[in-house]
Structure 1
Amino acid sequence: MRAARLHGPADLRIDDIEIPTPGPGEVLVRVLAYSPYGTCLGVYLNRGGRYVTEYPIGIGADFSAEIAALGPDVTGFEVGQRVTAQSLDNCGTCANCSAGRTNLCLSPDLGRYVRQICAQDYALVSVRKLCVMPDGVSDEAAAMITGVVDALNAFDKLGLPEGSPVAIVGVGAMGHGAIATARAIGLKPIAIGGRGAKAGMAGELGAERVFRINAHGEDVSPAVLEAFPAGFAGIVETSATEWGMEQAFKVAAPGATIALTGGGALPVTNWDIVNRELHVVGVRGGPDQARALRLIAEGKLDLSPTISARFPLEQAADAFALLTGDAAKDVGRVIIQIAR
């Protein structure tokens, strides 16, 4: 089968490898579509040497697929079903899993993050990660839901009343997902950041205001606070960058909750948090992929306006070059069409 594999940073090639056989607890899927997002780009470039320890390695994350074969002990699924998968595996039986917090599985083997590989004709997936796609969800839509799943987790933690404004910092794939999700569940998203067409897409997805940056790293918090002097009670930081975290803390109202999806050291001290009684919460994926798919199936959430280009698997390297090149500020989601 064809497989897009990295042989070094930014060295993505199409290799011919064997089709794997599903073992216990596994399902073999025929991949239909794959859409890279920020973490995939980090793997592609191996930013800071933190993503890849050896080459060659496959790549992937969000995908849609159909079941091609079941492992020997798998029940509850059928060959031919259209499926997608959560990013994190889980045991299904620990205290957190039993409480519905499968993204925080306590199993030492399953709780660690193992990257899904899906930029290839067939992929192995843990059956515990699978979710059947409703009829109203397209293959492309299902390949873009990580930002939606993360956002639902973040908004649950924020606990904002319906109709509340919420600041979304960053307008990449994760930011766009958060903006569309906020609108779908009745919040009023205010987008912070972005240049070019990406910022325009934030408005198309339902952002009530978009505070664009003119240059990388520009501080737009003064403009945001001029328009919203009290700051925001809820902020979701989606860029996982130093700039994004600084913006998030600067626009936070006293007593606000700031949801972080990644990044390095906080740009504030303990006393800054204490004096403003801020709540800082982490968002590690999310447990409710089915809810994300329902919002799409019901027509409440549509990320198709963010699709900038489509490539066949043979041109996966071109897709990643576009997403990481000079034109990236004008590029939203890219769909890699895998099924032939």
Structure 2
Amino acid sequence: MLAALLYGQEDLRLETVPDPTPADGEVVIEVGAATTCGTDLKVWRRGGHAKMLKPPTLFGHEAAGQIVALGAGVIGWNVGDRVVANNSAPCMTCFFCQRQEFSLCTNLTFNNGTFAKYLKVPALIVQHNLLSVPAGLSDAMAAMTEPLACVLHGVARSNVKPGDRVVLLGDGAIGLMFVAALAKQSAEVFLFGGSDSRLDIGKKFGAAKTFNYRQVPDLPNLVRDLTDGWGADIAIEATGVPSAWETAIACVRPGATVNLFGGCPRDTTITVNTEQLHYNELTLKGVFHNTPEFVRAALALIASHTVPFELLISDHQPLKNLEQVFQDMKQRKVVKVAIVP
């Protein structure tokens, strides 16, 4: 089969590799659609990921399709079932899993390789994070379950209460998903991004106000003007840029929570004012990945059709155009693209 392999920094190659065969407990799905993600873009640009993969490796981690082969011992699934596979599953037995902190699992099983005709799904993911796609839901829509699950996990860790004023930094797919999830919690969301077309999607997802940060000379001061001089109750950073982490901290009121969600490049650092952190009783949280609970909640939210998540899919392209798709993502011409093998 034809598959995408990542060899290093912006080194993505389409190669012919053997069709996968499922081992015990595994399944193989024929990919109906694999959606691109901001994480894929970062990994492509940086040439790797601290947790998910090390080159050279099969690439891509969001996909839905149809089961075409079952390994020995697989129960509850049949050839022909339409499914979406999360890109990971916790072991359920380690120190963190025993405390239900599944995103911190020390043995987290990751799976990559969605940009291909077939995807082999490891046994742990089959057991814990393989879900049926509801009738009437397209593969491209179902494939967005994984990033939305990460967002729902992030919202849950942000201590959101109805009426909270939330600053959201970043208008990528993750940032826009955050807007939708926060609006569902009756939060007042102030979205900052660099693309007017993406900010328009943010409005449709429920943002109370949107701002092009290029037109804002002093972002923290603007936030104070929007919040009676105090600052936001919550700030969520969804860009993965260290300076934006510092901006998020500068935007909040005493007693606020700052969710540092966007993964920054390895070995980067930020500066935090210790007086502000201590005397303002700030809560700074790094939030990573998802859990089985939120994988299920994400698919249910997409299938409810209460949020027009289809607005995030800018285009559908064949696998042979994947390199150009990443170039377009790099230039912010598209949000997400559904790759159809």
TM exceeds 0.5?
yes
Aligned position for 1:208 = 208
Could you tell me how far 1:116 is from its partner in structure 2? 2.0
Question: Could you tell me whether the CA contact under 8 Å between 1:61 and 1:118 is conserved in 2?
Answer: yes
Which segments of 5 or more consecutive residues in structure 1 lack a partner in the other structure? none
Aligned position for 1:23 = 23
Question: Could you tell me whether the CA contact under 8 Å between 1:219 and 1:247 is conserved in 2?
Answer: no
Question: Could you tell me whether the CA contact under 8 Å between 1:2 and 1:15 is conserved in 2?
Answer: yes
Cα distance in 2 for partners of 1:226, 1:48 equals 40
Cα distance in 1 for partners of 2:226, 2:297 equals 33
Partner SS, residue 246 of structure 2: helix
Could you tell me how far 1:52 is from its partner in structure 2? 7.0
C-alpha distance after superposition, 1:204-235 (max 9, x if no partner): 222111121227x9752222222222211122
Aligned position for 2:335 = 332
Cα distance in 2 for partners of 1:324, 1:204 equals 24
Partner SS, residue 118 of structure 1: coil
Question: Could you tell me whether the CA contact under 8 Å between 2:7 and 2:47 is conserved in 1?
Answer: no
Q: Tell me the matched-pair count.
A: 329
C-alpha distance after superposition, 1:270-312 (max 9, x if no partner): 4431121011122111111111111122222231112222211
C-alpha distance after superposition, 1:164-209 (max 9, x if no partner): 3322111112101111222234333221222342222222222111
Question: Could you tell me whether the CA contact under 8 Å between 1:198 and 1:331 is conserved in 2?
Answer: no
Cα distance in 2 for partners of 1:220, 1:310 equals 35
Question: What is the identity percentage for the equivalent residue pairs of Structure 1 and Structure 2?
Answer: 28
Cα distance in 2 for partners of 1:18, 1:97 equals 34
Q: Does 1:180 align with 2:176?
A: no
RMSD over aligned CA atoms reads 2.5
Cα distance in 1 for partners of 2:336, 2:87 equals 18
C-alpha distance after superposition, 1:59-112 (max 9, x if no partner): 10111122221221222222222222233321234464456543232xx4x23x
Aligned position for 1:282 = 286
Question: Could you tell me whether the CA contact under 8 Å between 2:33 and 2:63 is conserved in 1?
Answer: yes
Aligned position for 2:272 = 268
TM-score (norm 2): 0.87
Aligned position for 2:308 = 302
Question: Could you tell me whether the CA contact under 8 Å between 1:158 and 1:259 is conserved in 2?
Answer: yes
Could you tell me how far 1:251 is from its partner in structure 2? 1.0
Moved more, 155-164 or 291-300: 155-164
Matches within 5 A, 1:121-270: 121-126=117-122, 127=126, 128-214=128-214, 219-228=218-227, 229-261=229-261, 262-263=263-264, 264-270=268-274
Select the residue among 316, 319, 322 that pairs with 1:316: 322
Amino acid in structure 2 at the alignment position of 1:255 = G
Partner SS, residue 68 of structure 2: strand
Q: In structure 2, do the counterparts of structure 1 residues 240 and 248 end up closer, same or farther at CA, with 3 Å as the change threshold? A: same
Question: Could you tell me whether the CA contact under 8 Å between 2:243 and 2:270 is conserved in 1?
Answer: no
Amino acid in structure 1 at the alignment position of 2:243 = W
Which segments of 5 or more consecutive residues in structure 2 lack a partner in the other structure? none
Moved more, 141-150 or 240-249: 141-150
Amino acid in structure 2 at the alignment position of 1:220 = L
Cα distance in 2 for partners of 1:197, 1:67 equals 37
Cα distance in 2 for partners of 1:85, 1:48 equals 22
TM-score (norm 1): 0.87
Q: In structure 2, do the counterparts of structure 1 residues 266 and 134 end up closer, same or farther at CA, with 3 Å as the change threshold? A: farther
Amino acid in structure 2 at the alignment position of 1:116 = N
Could you tell me how far 1:248 is from its partner in structure 2? 0.9
Could you tell me how far 1:320 is from its partner in structure 2? 0.9
Aligned position for 2:82 = 82
Cα distance in 1 for partners of 2:181, 2:208 equals 13
Cα distance in 2 for partners of 1:97, 1:136 equals 34
Cα distance in 2 for partners of 1:49, 1:304 equals 27
